[in-house]
Amino acid sequence: MARDNKAMISGFRCLCAFIFVISACSIASFLYSCQCTSPCHDPGREWGQSLTPNQTIDLLSFPEAWNNLNFPQVPPPWRMKIAVFVKKWPHRSQAGGLERHALTLHLELAKRGHEIHIFTTSPINASSFPKYPFPNLHFHLSKPTAAGYLDQSTVWDQFQAQNSSGSPRRPFDVVHTESVGLMHTRSRKLTNLAVSWHGIAYETIHSDIIQELLRSPEEPQAYSLTERAVKVVEEVKFFRSYAHHVATSDHVGDVLKRVYMIPEERVHVILNGVDEEIFRSDFKAGKNFRRNFGIPKSKTLVLGIAGRLVKDKGHPLMFEALKQMIRENAKFRETAIVLVAGDGPWGSRYRGLGSNNVLVLGPLEQAQLARFYNAIDIFINPTLRAQGLDHTLLEAMLCGKPVLATRLASITGSVIVNGNVGYTFPPTLELLKRALYRVWSDGRGVLEKKGEVARQRGLQFFSATKMAAAYERLFLCISSMSGGDTENQCQFEDSSR
Ligand SMILES: *[C@@H]1O[C@H](CO)[C@@H](O)[C@H](O)[C@H]1NC(C)=O
Ligand SMILES: *[C@@H]1O[C@H](CO)[C@@H](O)[C@H](O)[C@H]1NC(C)=O
Ligand SMILES: *[C@@H]1O[C@H](CO)[C@@H](O)[C@H](O)[C@H]1NC(C)=O
């Protein structure tokens, strides 16, 4: 009896200590909500905490990003026949996010042995269509509609033909559409279908608000906010016609469940991934790149920008911030240089800032882009587009570089989750400048430390392998649900934890 009491008292003490630690942490995290480095307020570490070792997870209702889970590296013995609908197949590496996602994911799945049929539009110059060394990767091209979409009745006929092809006859195990590649009018018939969203109207409203706040009085209003809200309502109505939804950021997963009211077990978060064999840390390549472009040793801070140099991506803001900093601060002018990769109207303006401080490199092929990331100290993405999840941030992280980006929900929720991987700024000129000065004063030593954390995080979450393994498992799960497999692929036990 006495022993039981003693045990109870010490148990009670433990509990008190535990409560004390928890409340201390929550106060601390309240006080330092931005810069806190304490493990108590580190969403990166909070991820996956709901899991205990060897716990069996019901994947379809798993609330976090599937990138948290360690699916087996080896492909499953069962090879799926997968139909993919994508408006446009990328021909060059400078494609948009949706196309890059389609390319990276489905080449990876083809590598894993699955039979992939891609239904996409034919390019203007058919002989320029890329070729791949996979006999199990098939393209079915069709002429786009006047608005550039997939012609739904043509692709449906092509799909039906392939669904009854093969000997013995083999229907598709699963259908994947990148955004509205396959429209809801056709999709509603399919239970073994997943749609990946790369930008939804609800996110776009945030971009509209930012653009409206930054608009100068003489510029006309770009979008009607009322029209956008109507668009959200339309999406809420037709999204439910798709059986399964893949959100490419935690934020969008949340919006799909709460605002779009899609049942939880039909919304899955799988973050974008990039090719980790191309985008990796390579000190020597970075050094050579700097030497080839004649960057002097006196430049102790090399900033990098990449992508389309257009207004949407925040380049007017970035340009103005740099212009002011170069003008007002002689020390910054001497010690900092910005490398700009990519093309677009703002390229020539950046060039106007003088080659002593800004080098405009033009668009770079993937391998060269990887060297570019390795040559810089920090990657900056001032994007004002809240839609989707920018691949450039992930590429820079996999190359071991910290990132500075706009404080958008998709970015703070899934990528720059704390100050250990980089910096975020609310999109105003003043706050961007403040963030840039902060980066500059932190200097190379601090940036290298953050870069290493960014690389670890990149490898853990944003590799193409990780993304493909998660999609593969989702596809196995939803195809088995529709009657294909005997084993339940929707349950998962992560024994590597
Ligand atoms: C989890 O499973 C693995 C492999 O089956 C085993 O080696 C390990 O001890 C288990 N861990 C726990 C905490 O049960
Ligand atoms: C079409 O693409 C091929 C291969 O890239 C190229 O050699 C050819 O000149 C192109 N034709 C036209 C009309 O652009
Ligand atoms: C594909 O073929 C299978 C097997 O014949 C059939 O059950 C299924 O309905 C077909 N899918 C579509 C969308 O027609």
* Residue 492 reports pLDDT greater than 70: yes
Q: Give residue 479's domain range.
A: 66-273+466-493
Which ligand 1 atom is nearest residue 52's CA? 13
The total number of structural domains that make up the chain: 2
Give the number of residues written for the chain: 497
**Residue 472 has which token pair?**
């593969």
Which ligand 3 atom is nearest residue 175's CA? 13
Which ligand 3 atom is nearest residue 163's CA? 1
For residues 399 and 423, membership in a common domain is answered with yes
For residues 429 and 473, membership in a common domain is answered with no
Work out the mean pLDDT of the chain and round it to a whole number: 88
Are β-strands 174-178 and 81-85 bridged in parallel, bridged antiparallel, or unpaired? parallel
Q: How confident is the model at residue 92 (pLDDT cuts 50, 70, 90)?
A: low
- 22-61 confidence digits (pLDDT tens): 444 444 443 333 333 333 334 444 455 556 777 888 999 9
For residues 121 and 190, membership in a common domain is answered with yes
Backbone angles phi, psi at 239, to 5 degrees: -60, -35
Question: What residues are paired with 141 via a beta bridge?
Answer: 120
For residues 288 and 325, membership in a common domain is answered with yes
**Three-state DSSP state, 275:** coil
- 334-383 confidence digits (pLDDT tens): 999 999 999 999 999 999 999 999 999 999 999 999 999 999 999 999 99
For residues 157 and 90, membership in a common domain is answered with yes
- What pLDDT sits at residue 64? 93
- 3-state DSSP percent of the chain in helix, strand and coil, to 5: 45, 15, 40
- What pLDDT sits at residue 480? 64
User: Nearest Cα to 95, choosing from 60, 127, 120, 58?
Assistant: 120
For residues 214 and 318, membership in a common domain is answered with no
Residue 160 lies in a domain: yes
- Total Cβ atoms within 10 A of residue 465: 17
Helix (H) or strand (E) holding 440: helix 429-461
- 456-487 confidence digits (pLDDT tens): 999 999 999 999 999 999 999 999 655 555 46
370: exposed, middle or buried (Cβ count in 10 Å: 0-12, 13-18, 19+): buried
For residues 300 and 213, membership in a common domain is answered with no
Q: How many CA atoms lie within 13 A of 133 on its CB side?
A: 1
Q: Distance from the CA of 170 to the center of ligand 3, in angstroms?
A: 9
Helix (H) or strand (E) holding 302: strand 301-306
Supply the DSSP string of 369-385, one letter for each residue.
HHHHHHH-SEEEE----
Q: Which residue has the higher pLDDT, 448 or 484?
A: 448
Tell me, using a 6 A CB cutoff, whether residue 167 lines ligand 2: no
Residue 59 lies in a domain: no
Residue 29 lies in a domain: no
Residue 165 lies in a domain: yes
Q: Round to whole Å and give the CA distance between 54 and 61.
A: 17
Q: Distance from the CA of 100 to the center of ligand 2, in angstroms?
A: 22
- What pLDDT sits at residue 32? 38
Which ligand 1 atom is nearest residue 53's CA? 13
For residues 263 and 116, membership in a common domain is answered with yes
CATH number, domain containing residue 253:
3.40.50.2000
- What pLDDT sits at residue 26? 44
Q: How far is CA 26 from CA 90, 280, 305, 416, in A?
A: 46, 36, 36, 20
Tell me, using a 6 A CB cutoff, whether residue 345 lines ligand 3: no
Helix axes 366-375, 283-292, angle to 10 degrees: 90
Residue 158 lies in a domain: yes
**Closest residue to atom 13 of ligand 3, CA basis:** 190
- Among the ranges given (65-74, 151-160, 279-288, 301-310), the one the predictor scored with the smallest mean pLDDT: 65-74
For residues 155 and 211, membership in a common domain is answered with yes
Residue 25 lies in a domain: no
Ligand closest in space to the Cα of 131:
2
For residues 444 and 473, membership in a common domain is answered with no
- Among the ranges given (69-78, 167-176, 356-365), the one the predictor scored with the smallest mean pLDDT: 69-78
Tell me, using a 6 A CB cutoff, whether residue 127 lines ligand 2: yes
> Roughly how many angstroms between the first and final C-alpha of the chain, as a whole number?
39
Tell me, using a 6 A CB cutoff, whether residue 54 lines ligand 1: yes
Are β-strands 56-58 and 491-493 bridged in parallel, bridged antiparallel, or unpaired? antiparallel
Taking the whole predicted model, whether its pTM rises above 0.75 is answered as yes
For residues 288 and 269, membership in a common domain is answered with no
For residues 74 and 107, membership in a common domain is answered with yes
Residue 27 lies in a domain: no
DSSP state of 294: T
Residue 55 lies in a domain: no
Radius of gyration, alpha carbons of the chain: 24
Q: Round to whole Å and give the CA distance between 435 and 424.
A: 7
